[in-house]
Amino acid sequence: MLWVKSFHILFVASWFAGLFYLPRIFVNLAMVPPESVAERQRLLLMARKLMRFMTILAVPALVLGLWLWLGYGIGKGPGNGWMHAKLTIVVLLLGYHHACGVMLRRFEAGINRRSHVWYRWFNEAPVVMMLVAVVLVVVKPF
């Protein structure tokens, strides 16, 4: 079980790194002048590769988490409300991941309507979710 936990943490941490960095690429894409085609293409390439890598990391993180939850019973039973809260955070993060994919497709199609400031704020969402998830898992307040 400790190996499963270790790999789960490793994949989740790597997935979060991508969730932190992809919106930073969006900030840069939103700031690219229309005449800078090469810069835009380079940033799009980076964003596509990072999105693919994040998705590859998210799958084993989720599978290992399910294994811990269903296979080992971690978080089951009374007094484990923290697990329900953590699963809510996971669902929100999956939605955030999906939203990043939608935004990337919009950038690729050239139909971005948001400013770089909006993307800077959008970039803060996974930080808040990560902090809440860490507190839930470590402190288990309820």
| Residue (of 132, 119, 122) closest to 26 by Cα position | 119
Separation between Cα atoms, residue 45 and residue 59, nearest integer Å: 22
Residue 141: pLDDT over 90: no
**Positions at the binding site for heme:** 8, 86
> What is the pLDDT averaged over residues 67-94?
86
**Positions at the binding site:** 8, 86
Higher pLDDT pick, 43 / 138: 43
Give per-residue pLDDT as tens, 11-24: 899 999 999 999 99
The model's pTM:
0.88
CB 61 within 8 A of CB 11: yes
Domain boundaries, the chain: 2-139
